[in-house]
Each structure stands twice: as structure tokens, then as C-alpha cells.
Amino acid sequence: MKMIEFIVRGILADDDDILLVRQKGADYAFLPGGHIEFGESARFALVREIEEELGLSVEVGQLLGVIEHQWSTDHHLSHELNLIFSISCEELKSSHSPESREGNLEFLWHPLNDLKSVNLKPPPLCDLLPHWLKERGRAIGWDSTIDKR
């Protein structure tokens, strides 16, 4: 059965850096967060995911944008909707990369103006993140990696 996955992601910026995560050995990075489970709110899911991954509590701010993302690997088509919120956490500063509680993940701080070099997924985030952070509170962004049909 084909399904659309609902993902919640958080944007945490410190100075000119943004917190990213990647699976160890992967050639791409993504924003912290994860799947929204049935029956939970997107905000609660984001708090839960970061607690599971970092052992830290975050404050979830406003919705900054949504990105619909589709890709295929080994003849398998995946489709997800990413709800992207601003987040804050006093314990997370760009002077120190946080340690993951999950052995397959690693967190890193990366310059906001160089997101393409880490192969950020979904790809539209590379251009949208700086704009969303600059325009915070004025408009919600939307993009899609699905071909226009």
C-alpha cells in the first residue's frame, strides 16, 4: 500500500549556522525531527523526536513552511510532506555539536549560506531556509520536488 508520510522538522539557527542531522556514512543531511505518529500533533511529534534523538527539550515556534518531497530508490517510490517549524533550545549552541542518543545519527552545525554542500534534503530547503528565517512571521512557504502535472 502506497502512503504519504507526514514528517515534522525543526529549524534551529545560532549565529550564521543551522543544526542538521545525518545518518552516519550518508552523503546527505536533513533537519532534526521525524515522523508524526497517528493521534499526535505535529508540535508534540517534534518535541518527542528531538527528546528521543538528543535527550533535550525544545520550544516549538511557528510553522515556517511545508515541502512536499518525492524520490525513488531501487524501484521504490517515497512521498512525504515535511512540516517545518522554528525551534529553540538554550542547551544547543553552534560552539558545540550535540551528541546523538541514537547510534545511527550524528548532529552537526553548518553555515546557513552553504547548505548545498551537505546535500540537504529535501533540496528546496537550500534556498528556502535563509528566506524563511529572514521573513519569519510574515508568510508560510511551500515547495515541492514532485514534477508539476
Mind giving me the DSSP string for 14-59? ETTEEEEEEETT-S-BB-SEEEPPTTS-HHHHHHHHHHHHHS---E
Q: How confident is the model at residue 146 (pLDDT cuts 50, 70, 90)?
A: confident
Residue 67 CA to residue 145 CA, distance in Å, equals 8
Q: For the segment 89-116, what is each residue's pLDDT rounded down to a tens digit?
A: 999 999 998 999 999 999 999 999 999 9
Report the pLDDT value the prediction gives residue 149, as an integer from 0 to 100: 44
H or E, element range at 72? strand 59-73
Domain count within the chain: 1
| pLDDT at residue 50, rounded to an integer | 97
The amino acid sitting at 39 is G
Instruction: Report the predicted TM-score, pTM, of the whole model to 2 decimal places.
Output: 0.89
Cα distance between residue 116 and residue 102, in whole Å? 25
In a domain, residue 149? The reply is: no
CATH code for the domain of 54: 3.90.79.10
Quick check: is 48 in a domain? Answer: yes
Q: What is the β-pairing status of strands 5-11 and 33-35?
A: antiparallel
Position 15 in a domain: yes
Q: Does the residue 29 lie in any domain? A: yes
Domain carrying residue 107: 5-144
Q: Sorting pLDDT into bands at 50, 70 and 90, what band is 142? A: low
142 neighbors 64 (Cβ within 8 angstroms): no
Asked if residue 100 lies in contact with residue 106, where contact means CB atoms within 8 angstroms, the answer is yes
Could you tell me how far CA 10 lies from the centroid of its own chain? 5
